[in-house]
A and B are shown apart, each in its own frame.
Chain A
Amino acid sequence: MTRTRLATVAYSAVSIVLFAFFVFPVYWMVNTSLQPNNEIRGSDLHFWPDNLTLRNYETVLFDPGRTPFLPAAGNSLTVTVLTVVIALVFAFLASVAVTRFRFASRRAFIITILVVQMIPGEAMIVSVFRVIDGWHLLNTIAGLTLVYVATVLPFTIWTLRGFVNGVPVELEEAAMIDGCSRAGAFWRVTFPLLAPGLVATGVFGFIQAWNEFIMALVLNARPEMMTLPVWLRTFLVANGTTNWAGLMAGSTLMAIPVIVFFLVVQGRMTSGLVSGAVKG
Chain B
Amino acid sequence: MTTVDTTGPDLAPSAGEGRRPAPPRPTRAGRPRDPRARRARRGGLTPYALLTPALIVLALIVGWPLVQLVVTSFQEFGRAQVFGAPPAWVWFENYADVLTDPVFHGVLVRSLAFAAACVVTTMLFGTLVALMMTRLTKFFRMLLSIGMLLAWAMPALTATVVWGWMFDTAYGVVNHVLVNWFGLAEYFQHSWLIDPLSFFLVAGLIIVWGAVPFVAFTLYAGLTQVPDEVLEAAQLDGAGGVARFRLIVFPYLKPIFLIVTILQIIWDLRVFTQIFALQDIGGIRALTSTLGVYIYQTSIAGGDFGHGGAIAVITAILLMSISIFYIRHLAKEEEL
Q: CB within 8 Å of B: which residues of A? A: 7-8, 11-12, 14-16, 18-23, 25-26, 28-29, 32, 40-42, 45, 89-91, 93-94, 96-103, 106-107, 109-112, 114-131, 146-147, 149-151, 153-155, 157-159, 161-163, 165-170, 173, 204, 207-208, 210-214, 218, 229, 232-233, 236-237, 241, 244, 247-248, 251-252, 254-255, 258-259, 262-263, 266, 269-270, 273-274, 278, 280
Contacts and interface: CB of A to CB of B under 8 A. Distances in A.
B192 to A, nearest CB: 12
Interface string B145-162: 011111111111111011
Given A97-B50, A146-B57, A28 B165 contact: yes
B272 interface: yes
Contacts of A173: 39
A127 B171 contact: no
B173 A162 contact: no
B149 to A, nearest CB: 6
Contacts of B51: 93-94, 97-98, 109
A244 B150 contact: no
A130 B72 contact: yes
A251 B57 contact: no
Contacts of A128: 61, 65
Contact of B319 (A97, A120, A166, A210): A120
Contacts of A273: 13, 15
Rank and list the top 3 A-B pairs by shortest CB-CB distance, nearest first.
A166-B15, A150-B61, A122-B292
A12 B140 contact: yes
A274 B15 contact: yes
B204 interface: no
B323 A26 contact: no
Given A103-B47, A122-B270, A21 B209 contact: yes
Interface in B242-293: 266, 270, 272-273, 276-277, 280-282, 291-292
Select the residue from A8, A211, A255, A263 with max chain B CB neighbours within 10 A: A211
B143 A213 contact: no
A214 B272 contact: yes
Given A114-B330, A218-B296, 20 more contacts: A18-B129, A19-B143, A29-B158, A93-B53, A94-B53, A97-B47, A97-B51, A98-B51, A101-B47, A124-B312, A125-B300, A127-B309, A146-B61, A155-B8, A211-B4, A232-B161, A241-B281, A269-B13, A270-B13, A278-B19
A124 B66 contact: yes
A243 to B, nearest CB: 11
Given A15-B140, A236-B161, A259-B150, A90 B7 contact: no
B40 A102 contact: yes
Contacts of B182: none
Interface stretch (B23-31, B131-139, B195-203): B131-139
Contacts of B64: 131
A114 B58 contact: no
A231 to B, nearest CB: 10
A101 B42 contact: yes
B277 A233 contact: yes
B161 A251 contact: yes
